Amino acid sequence: MNAPAAGGLPERLSALYERCGYEQFRMSKFEEYDIYSANKRFLAGEDILTFTDKNGKLMALKPDITLSIVKNHGALFGASRLGKYYYRESVYRVPRGSDCFSEITQTGVECVGVTDAVSECEVILMANASLSETGMKTVLEISHMGILGGMLAGVGSEARKHELMSCVAAKNAHGFKASADAAGLDSETTEKILNLSSISAPISECADEILSLTEGGGAEYAARELCTLSELLSAVGEAERVYFDLSVVYDRTYYTGAVFRGFAEGIPERILSGGRYSGLVTRRGEVGEGMGFALYTDPIERKADMGVARRVDCLIVYGEGGECAALKIADEKRRDGKSALLMREDGGASDGGVDYSELIRVGKEGIL
């Protein structure tokens, strides 16, 4: 893992994306509601914060960035021009497992329009580089929605298909087998999916095994697309850092190709998610497709802040009778351009939570 360069994480990520030729996309915190209502199936949840503007239009606080980028790119250039954008924005939605709206900070990229394997590989490389910039031990896992979709094509019930995909996503082999039997999935396909689910290795090491387990139909086509990405990643020495994992399963009405996610040691939830999408329809009717990812910076920053001591030039610890003197000393230090932290002697000054250059203790007799 490469050590991150100097500067804050947002600045390092912006520099990374600009080196790749991506331009920053800036947007309002809200959009007209109809763009989201027309594409609700693409959103992470049904709940959207709305308000009525003074002109009577129903507006929404952004629950999604991709839709805004696709809409604006399509309106300006149509679907035939490739657009490469990065962003640093907040979205407003109800996180999984919560009952309340949250502001979620995201940094990410969108490659919109006519894409090919090289463009998709570049997005994956940028995702891995973004993870490296966190300075933590990370892993990027990848799959392809067409693999499971192709292997489950014979399951007529959409509800059953969703149930089977959910079992794969949860790595619930027992539940998958029971659901497969109930759905009438043949034993050979069931066994192949279970074998694919057991693979966890760099994509370059398991490409042949993936192909052998997906022979025939749409699943093989999807697997070959994934293997093409593996070859391109290998060409730049990055395939060993990208792991195959069939449990990377997202909404198949949104994602249609390669999908991936990133994790960091010490953070229980994923900190990055992305993939190839198609079928996003803008208000003007252009079809938006492309590939992108979002890095969720809030849990990264919370992890970085844990255990970090406050840093001050001067720590002033005062006891009973030393309050006035302590305030006067603190004022003098601050006037001299130094930072000064006031703390009662029983306020935890000695618990390791403060890093200081100078320590001054004050009691009723003055400086001790």
Q: What is the pLDDT of residues 195-204, one digit of tens each?
A: 999 999 999 9
Is the whole model's pTM more than 0.85, yes or no?
no
Query: Which tokens is 179 given?
Result: 């659901």
Measured distance CA(220)–CA(124) in Å, rounded = 21
Banded pLDDT at 351 (limits 50, 70, 90) = very low
Query: Within 10 A of 132 (CB to CB), how many other CB atoms are there?
Result: 18
- The tokens for 306 are 């844990």
pLDDT digits (tens, 9 = 90+) for 15-47: 999 999 999 987 776 776 666 665 655 555 557
Output helix, strand, coil percentages for the chain, rounded to the nearest 5. 40, 30, 35
> What is the C-alpha to C-alpha distance for residues 260 and 250, in angstroms, rounded to an integer?
9
- pLDDT tens profile 48-81: 767 677 777 777 766 677 777 887 776 666 666 7
Positive or negative, the Cα torsion across 13, 271, 151, 233?
positive
Angle at 238 between CA 233 and CA 240, to 5 degrees: 105
| pLDDT of the residue at 99 | 65
- 93 - beta bridge partners? 102
- Phi, psi torsion values for 77, nearest 5 degrees: -125, -15
Give the pairing type, strands 201-202 and 255-264.
unpaired
Least confident among 5-14, 317-326, 350-359: 350-359
- Report the number of secondary-structure helices (H) and strands (E) in the chain: 12, 16
